[in-house]
Amino acid sequence: MKLLLLVILSVCPVAANWQRDIRTPKGSRFDTPQPHTLSYFTQYPSLRDESGDFCYLCSPEKRLALARQQKERAEVRLVGTVRGFAVYDVLYFFGDDEKASWKSILVRTQPGQYREIWHYQLNEGEIWPSYLVKVGQETLFGLEDDCYKQDTIQQYYWFGADSPVRVDLNPIWEAAKKAVPKDTAVWGGYDGRVDFPAGRMQVGLITEPDWHCCNRGTVDVEFKLRSGNPVVTKTSFNPEAEFKWRGCR
């Protein structure tokens, strides 16, 4: 009994560190993903629906029967390996559509076992392949999806010894907010593929009466990464600078 309790205590903290970010047209949420075989994610993709639309209120048997009739496929792509963790994109295609409608990001935790850390069902815009970003001696895993006009979803993950940890950009945004005049907000657009390696983020400003991105003036925030956490080292308000939106991809 003592041995069993010791095993549970040693496993639970590691499992609790894993988070899955789920985004569908019906909303977003987080949960703790369980490990599965690769075929769980690739066979009968409709069964991986997180919006609740596929075969709503059906029994598991009916859902499986209907999924077997669907025209769909899953395409697995290795993004790269970070600290021994192999990371994969799984792109889901439905019907005759040549563009992916869903995307999963899987991390191989041990031979034959994978955890999903990102599940995205497209609302508008487009799904893109994930990528790795070199930041000093560190390597971050990055994703960019739902690229639409001047808006996009970007997330970055730092890999520790046990699990991936999503990079929290709040220290950067909070530092920028403190550097701007009253009635001025900061805009959250950025390009981590450029900003992270440079250790510097140019933050656009939104001011009255326009309240849209981006008026004249920027805040330059310099930072370093420590265990995946941005540590701000310098903040400069530049009232005459022009924000340069680099756009999506």
DSSP conformation letters of the chain: -HHHHHHHHHHHHHHHH--EEEEETTEEEEE-PPPB-HHHHHSSGGGG-SSS-TTTT--HHHHHHHHTTS-EEEEEEEEEEETTEEEEEEEEEETT-SS-SEEEEEEEEETTEEEEEEEEE--SS-B---EEEEETTEEEEEEEEEEETTEEEEEEEEE-SSSEEE---HHHHHHHHHTS-TTEEE-----HHHHHHHTEEEEEEEETTT-SS-EEEEEEEEEEEETTEEEEEEEEEETT---------
Q: What is the pLDDT of residues 60-116, one digit of tens each?
A: 999 999 999 999 999 999 999 999 999 999 999 999 999 999 999 999 999 999 999
Q: What is the pLDDT of residues 125-162, one digit of tens each?
A: 889 999 999 998 889 999 988 765 556 789 999 999 88
Mean pLDDT of the chain: 88
Q: Would you kindly state where each structural domain of the chain is located, as residue ranges? A: 18-166, 170-238
Binning pLDDT at 50, 70 and 90, where does residue 167 land? very high
Full-model pTM: 0.87
